[in-house]
Structure 1
């Protein structure tokens, strides 16, 4: 079973969420969270930090990630580990995989015409809102 990660990055004032605009399928043209493939033998958290740095230039020194939840897709033979964190300070984001942007927290993240993941992003944001004090600490 192949593993993937998804990383929810909140800015240091907790009023923006880092998103990317998908340039290829699946979900071409839709907004998504950053993340990627967990390599064979790689720990999930290490993979999340690696993917985060590769896609955004955000390093371990900039953020502490917390394991929020997992999704297992048995028919697709994969699982997704979800991590969340708050930036310690303003950082310059840059990446060449998908265009990055900071989203306000007011959109309907369940809107599948705008966001990837069949509503999962909305669910993840709702979970962070429920457990904000625990998951958005340094």
Structure 2
């Protein structure tokens, strides 16, 4: 079974999500999260940080990723690991694979005419919202110390 990852990168202020515009199939022309294949011998976290750096130039010094959930597609013989993180500082993102952009979180991520993944991106964002206080506890702590 082939493993893949998708990586949800939130801006420092938690008001934007890093997306890419797909240039090829599947989902050509749709907005998607960054990610890729998990190579043989890699852990999920190693693959997520590698793909993140390859596709965006964001390093493990810029962000701490959390393993949010997995999707297993038995009939397609693959699974997808979902990682999420918030930038520690402002960074310039750059990549050669797909054009990158910051999407406002007010978008309808369940709109399959705009976003890849059959509504999964919307579902993942809702899951992050449900446990945001645990994932981004550094934000809560910083806000409470003011």
Partner of 1:22: 22
- Cα displacement (A) at 1:137: 4.0
Superposed CA deviations along residues 9-63 of structure 1, whole A, max 9, x for unmatched, are 0000000000000000000000000000000111000000000000000000000
Task: Provide the residue aligned with 1:60 in structure 2.
Answer: 60
Cα distance in structure 1, aligned partners of 2:74 and 2:13:
37
Structure 2 CA distance, aligned partners of 1:56 and 1:74? 30
Deviant stretches of 4+, over 2 Å: none
Deviation string, structure 1 residues 82-118 (Cα, Å, up to 9, x no partner): 0000000100100000000000000110000000000
Structure with the largest fraction of helix? 2
Q: Runs of 5+ in structure 2 lacking a partner? A: 139-146
Q: Matched residues in 2 for 1:38 and 1:28: separation?
A: 21
Alignment partner, residue 49 of structure 1: 49
Contact 1:49 1:60 in 2 (8 A): yes
TM-score, normalised by the number of residues in structure 2: 0.93
Aligned residues: 138
Matched, 1:124 2:115: no
**Matched residue, 1:36:** 36
The runs of 5 or more residues in structure 1 that have no matched partner are none
Partner SS for 1:75? helix
What CA distance in whole angstroms lies between the structure 2 residues aligned with 1:120 and 1:99?
21
Contact 1:84 / 1:136 at 8 angstroms: preserved in 2? no
1:68 Cα deviation after fit: 0.1
Structure with higher Rg: it is 2
